Amino acid sequence: MIKSFTAYTQEIDDVEFAVSEILEQLDLSRLCKNSIGLLSCYSEFIDTGIVKELCNRLPFDVIGCTTLGNSTNGNFGMLELNLMVLTGDDVEFSSAVSASLSDKQDAPLRSMYSKMSEKISDPSLMIAYMPLMFNVAGEVFLDILNDASNGLPVFGTLAVDHTADYHESKVIYNGDTYTDVVSAVIVSGNVSPKFLIASVSDEKTLKQKTIITDSDANILKEVNGSPVIEYMESLGLTRNGQIEGPSTIPFVVDFNDGTKPVIRAIFAQTPEGYAVCGGTMPINSTLSIGSIGYDDVIETTGKIIDEIAQDGQSGAVIMFSCIGRNYALGTSVKDEMKAVEEAFGKTRTYQMTYSGGEICPLYDSDKKTVNRFHNDTIVVCVL
């Protein structure tokens, strides 16, 4: 079985102090035969050399990314570094980092997965940290990994940071940092991951539903045979021909395949009036409009906390919550992290990280996993 430990530091300048603080909390004498580290941090921990030195002094591979804010046992905040260590005698981990994805995505990701799978067989889970690249949607990376692994459940996040254009967001692999790669680990052996999600509540979703009749990957063009901009106008969500506050309007998309609906954020509007979304918008899917605010974030997080508590398991909890959910909290930016810490801080090991895009399988009507990309969602993997 997998055992887990967590550690954190708020020391952002003194490399030796920060690394020593992490190592003291971890107590590496507790490690089992095989281990992997999952790291998330404010971007300045990279600039000051703390991430590099910490990874150099750990006896296992470390994957991770930058974030806007994170939380782990005993700590939560915006200027933190935290580390979760997964370890076990009857589990195996195989990690790797891809080549640059700037020009090509398929070959680098397939090569990365092949490298990982050469070391262990019959994996039951992949954990992946992906770059936030404006010219390539995160769902492209997920689709390639899904195909390369024959549908292995993939759980993970897109890197993000505190800047307005996310230019400091990085993916981490063994202390090195990148803007255009995926770092990942596959896990095999005595491990049975369980996946949970929470997003826009049914009460905050319009009952009026439409059908997507034209789209191109993540570009939504038409619903019910009419331009999407006309649909938005009919709902009073435009001004002077422009979608008003697009980042605050989540699309709720039902793929009609037996899985739960997923959330798609609107990133921009094209000159033609099309909506540029945070994930694919398949033709013939059912579409509705939701809303998200402070109360919705806290309510849905509370529901998922209750669901985790009722599952009867005691394993580690890994959580990624969309940065859009954090923005919806207004000035109370720590309240979602606080709720998670109050629930799990003293009862089970956990790591929560804010995300630029969430990757989490859904269960279909036959209880089989289907890999999905999400926006405005909190996703959970219980080990």
| C-beta atoms surrounding 273 within 10 Å | 17
Look at residue 108 and tell me whether its pLDDT is greater than 90. Answer: yes
Q: Are residues 210 and 182 in the same domain?
A: no
Decide which of 289, 313, 346 is a domain's last residue: 289
What type of residue sits at position 220? L
Percent of the chain predicted with pLDDT > 70: 99
Instruction: Return the closest-CA partner of residue 8 out of 261, 355, 307, 350.
Output: 350
Helix (H, G, I), strand (E, B) or coil at 65: strand
How confident is the model over 374-380, as a mean pLDDT?
95
Confidence of residue 249 (pLDDT cuts 50, 70, 90): confident
Separation of first and last alpha carbons in the chain: 9
Q: What is the pLDDT of residue 313?
A: 67
Tokens of 311: 């599952």
Decide which of 260, 289, 318 is a domain's last residue: 289
**Domain boundaries, position 275:** 202-289
Q: Are residues 23 and 146 in the same domain?
A: yes
Q: Are residues 248 and 218 in the same domain?
A: yes
Strand pairing class (81-88; 154-158): unpaired
Q: What is the pLDDT of residue 246?
A: 75
What type of residue sits at position 309? A
Q: Are residues 278 and 300 in the same domain?
A: no
Q: What is the pLDDT of residues 125-155, one digit of tens each?
A: 999 999 998 778 889 999 999 999 999 999 9
Look at residue 10 and tell me whether its pLDDT is greater than 80. Answer: yes
Q: What is the pLDDT of residue 354?
A: 97
Q: What is the pLDDT of residues 200-212, one digit of tens each?
A: 888 888 888 999 9
Q: Are residues 313 and 273 in the same domain?
A: no
Look at residue 248 and tell me whether its pLDDT is greater than 80. Answer: no
Domain count, the chain: 2
303: phi then psi, degrees, rounded to nearest 5: -65, -40
Q: Are residues 308 and 351 in the same domain?
A: yes
Q: Are residues 41 and 101 in the same domain?
A: yes
Q: At what angle do helices 138-148 and 106-117 cross, to 10 degrees?
A: 40
322: phi then psi, degrees, rounded to nearest 5: -60, 140
CA angle 193, 198, 201 (to 5 degrees): 155
CA distances, 365 to each of 151, 369, 370 (Å):
16, 10, 11
Confidence of residue 312 (pLDDT cuts 50, 70, 90): low
Residue 260: which residues within 8 A CB-CB, separation 6 or more? 197, 362, 363
Q: What is the pLDDT of residues 59-81, one digit of tens each?
A: 999 999 999 999 999 999 999 99
Q: Are residues 149 and 250 in the same domain?
A: no
Q: Are residues 193 and 211 in the same domain?
A: no
How confident is the model over 337-347, as a mean pLDDT?
92
Confidence of residue 268 (pLDDT cuts 50, 70, 90): confident
Query: 0.95 cut: is pTM over it?
Result: no
Residues 16/41, Cβ–Cβ less than 8 Å:
no
Q: Are residues 310 and 258 in the same domain?
A: no
Q: What is the pLDDT of residue 267?
A: 83
Decide which of 268, 289, 310 is a domain's last residue: 289
CA distances, 162 to each of 50, 101, 182, 355 (Å):
18, 23, 20, 11
Q: Lowest mean pLDDT of 84-88, 107-111, 204-208, 327-331, name the range.
A: 204-208
Residues 292/204, Cβ–Cβ less than 8 Å:
yes
Q: Are residues 146 and 213 in the same domain?
A: no
Q: Are residues 57 and 164 in the same domain?
A: yes
